[in-house]
Amino acid sequence: MQKMKTTAAQFTYPWQLCKTVHLVRHGQAMHNVEGDINREALLSPHLFDAQLSPLGLHQVGKLREDVHASGLLKRIELVVTSPLYRTMQTAFGVFGSTESNEDAGVNHPQIMAVELCRDRMGVRPCDMRRRVSECQALFPSIDFSMMDGEDDSLWNPHVRESEEEMAAQMVLFIKWLWTRPEQEIVIVSHGIMLQHILNVLKNDCHPTVRIDLCKRFGNCELRSVLIVDKSLKVADSQLCSPRNAAKENVLREEVSV
């Protein structure tokens, strides 16, 4: 488990304006395996919702051991996961209850699937209800209430999301995160989405930390950051399309690491 190095605190903020966020990339999935052989495989629609590889399952087991041993699981109040299979496997495998002896008396946090932190290239809207139904059967402890079963508002059937749209999506995701009452939260997502989250947060970060903070995530890597909302505004809880994000009055400088 990796923890980010931080510089000495220079300011004091009320605890209500702070959240501890643990960012986790999913374990190695089959599209990663195929992508190492042929990069074009990463764009295959057959591998978009890839499952974890045997190595990925091992990585998840190792991170679970680290999280339990460190006592981190006792502090986490909420786990937010992308609704894709590999991220839900990771979220449940690391933070979920297996009803085994090791979980006896352990209070496991709520796991919530949120569309805003899913990978680019979403599934077709007509497939969304079927996917959610299937995933609810496979992961009964995951809350899919944040998933819209009628429509995938973030999916474009003709164009893969641009870097700008993904960046805007992560700004909206951070806004949504501030509407949550929990103060210690895990986000299980995809490498590129985690990079964009950190890009949103890095503007007020000390230069000596910024390079380490924003480097590429490894599979099943965990990084922990303390974020501060300096806007003194109540975040908007409405989830809207990143294509409308340019119309939102969202300043990256209002959120800092």
Query: Between 208 and 142, where is the model more confident?
Result: 142
Lowest mean pLDDT among 75-89, 168-182, 219-233: 219-233
Q: Place 65 in a pLDDT band, splitting at 50, 70 and 90.
A: very high
Q: What is the pLDDT of residue 121?
A: 61
Which residues share a beta bridge with 227?
19
Most confident of 46-55, 108-117, 159-168: 108-117
pLDDT, one tens digit per residue, over 149-187 is 444 455 554 556 677 888 888 888 888 998 999 999 999
Q: How far is Cα 49 from Cα 120, in angstroms, rounded to an integer?
A: 11
Domains of the chain: 18-228 (3.40.50.1240)
HSE of 61, CA atoms in CB hemisphere, 13 A: 7
CA dihedral 232, 165, 248, 171 (to 10 degrees): -10
Residues near 72 by beta carbon (within 8 Å), at least 6 away in sequence:
1, 22
The mean pLDDT of the chain is: 75
Query: Between 137 and 156, where is the model more confident?
Result: 137
Q: What is the pLDDT of residue 128?
A: 59
Q: What is the pLDDT of residue 108?
A: 84
pLDDT, one tens digit per residue, over 1-21 is 444 444 444 566 677 778 999
pLDDT at residue 237 tops 60: no
Judged by phi (left if over 0) then psi (alpha if -120 to 50, else beta), residue 24 lies in beta
Question: What is the chain's percent helix, strand, coil content, to nearest 5?
Answer: 45, 15, 40
Lowest mean pLDDT among 38-47, 86-95, 227-236: 227-236
HSE of 21, CA atoms in CB hemisphere, 13 A: 27
Q: How far is Cα 189 from Cα 186, in angstroms, rounded to an integer?
A: 10
Best CA proximity match to 79, nearest among 21, 155, 126: 21
pLDDT at residue 79 tops 90: yes
